[in-house]
Amino acid sequence: MNTSDVLRKKITVIGGGTGSFIVLSGLKKYPLDLGVVVSMADSGGSTGKLRDQLGVLPPGDLRQCLVALSEAPVLWRKLFLYRFAKGELKGHNFGNLFLAALEKVSTDYNQAIETASYVLKTKGEVIPVTLTKTNLVAQYENGKIVKGEGLIDENKAERSKIKTIYLEPKAAANPKAVKRILESDYIIIGPGDLYTSIIAVFLVDKIKEAVLKTKAKIIYFLNLMTKAGQTVSYQANDHLKDLKKYLGRWPDYILVNKGRLPEEIIDFYKKYNEIKVVNDLRNNGYEIVEEDLVDNKKFEKNPNDVLYRSILRHDSRKVAKVLLKIFHV
C-alpha cells in the first residue's frame, strides 16, 4: 500500500482524557488523517473550577488531545501540561487557563480551537462534541442521583449500578463532530471511563445517529480495570452491554489486553474497590483481538493534581501496532 492510500484513511477517536491521549500519541507518527471527537462534560479539578468561576466550556480533555497531536517543540507541550503548585493558581493547569482565555477573546469556540491548534502545531482535528454548556447526570439503581461529571467520577463509595445517565440541559452536536464521524473509515472508542469519558459523548443529540449511519468500522478498547462508582464488579460483557445501550450497536472490533498486570498495581486498585476486568466476551458478531496492550510502568501522579488518577495505562506503542494491523497499514 502506498502513502497516498494510507493518507486516505480517516481515523477518528471518540472519548477524552488520558485514554484518547494515549491512542492519539501512538498514531500521530503515522501518515493517517487523525481526528478526535472530545467529551465536553468534564467538571472536575481545574476544569471544574474554571467552568464555575468563568462560565467557560470545559478545557481539560481538549487540552490533552491537543497536546497528544502536537508536533510543536517539547517546551510548548510541557507548558500546556504544567500544573501550578502554589498560590491561588494551585492545582490549575496552564493549558486549561490558556484555552479559557482564548474562549474569552475569540469570536467563537471554533476559532479558539484553531488558534490553539496553530500554536501547538497539531497533526489532526480536535473537535468538541458539543458547544452547549451541559452537565452529566447519573441515576443509580438505588434511586440516588448525582449531577456533574466530577462528582460522578469521585463517587467511589457507591456500590449501586448506574441505571441511566443523561445530559442536563440537552446538548446539540457540533456539526463538525457529526461530519467527522460520517466521513471516517475507522472510529476508535476509548480507552476511558465507560460513563464519564465515553458514553457522555453519545448522549449528545445526533451523535448516536451519526455513528449508526457511518460506514466506518468501530473499534472499542476494553478497560483494564473496573471503575468505582461506575462499573463496580463489571466483567467485559457488562461493559459491552452498557456501551451498546447508548451506542445502539455492537462495535466491529473489541481490543482486550492479555498482558500481565503487576501485582502491586492490582493491590493499589483494591483499596478503591477496583479490580481487573475479566474477559467473558461471547461472540456477538464482533472480532475479539487479544494482545499485550498494557504499559507496565507505574504512572506517577502529579503531586499538584487534586484528583485521583489511574496509575495503570495502555501503552501507546503497543496500541498503535495493533490498530495499524486493523487498518491494514
36-46 per-position pLDDT tens digit: 999 999 999 99
- Tell me: pLDDT of 1 over 70: no
pLDDT attached to residue 307: 43
254 pairs with which residues across the strands?
Answer: 220, 288
pLDDT attached to residue 310: 63
pTM of this prediction? 0.94
pLDDT higher at 167 or 265: 167
pLDDT attached to residue 6: 44
pLDDT attached to residue 299: 54
pLDDT attached to residue 311: 79
pLDDT attached to residue 272: 87
pLDDT in tens, 155-185: 989 999 999 999 999 999 999 999 999 999 9
pLDDT band, very low/low/confident/very high, at 4 (cuts 50, 70, 90): very low
Stretch 185-208: mean pLDDT, rounded? 97
pLDDT band, very low/low/confident/very high, at 305 (cuts 50, 70, 90): very low
Stretch 78-91: mean pLDDT, rounded? 94
CATH number belonging to domain 3-327: 3.40.50.10680
- Tell me: pLDDT of 64 over 90: yes
Q: Which has the minimum average pLDDT: 213-217, 255-259, 260-264?
A: 260-264
pLDDT attached to residue 125: 97
Three-state secondary structure string covering the chain: CCHHHHHCCEEEEEECHHHHHHHHHHHCCCCCEEEEEECCCCCCHHHHHHHHHHCCCCCHHHHHHHHHCECCCHHHHHHHHCECCCHHHCCCEHHHHHHHHHHHHCCCHHHHHHHHHHHHCECCEEEECECCCCEEEEEECCCCEEECHHHHHCCCCCCCCEEEEEEECCCEECHHHHHHHHHCCEEEECCCCHHHHHHHHHCCECHHHHHHHCCCEEEEECCCECCCCCCCCCCHHHHHHHHHHHHCCCCCEEEEECCCCCHHHHHHHHCCCCCECCCCCCCCCCEEEEECCEECCCCCCCCCCCCCCCCCEECHHHHHHHHHHHHCC
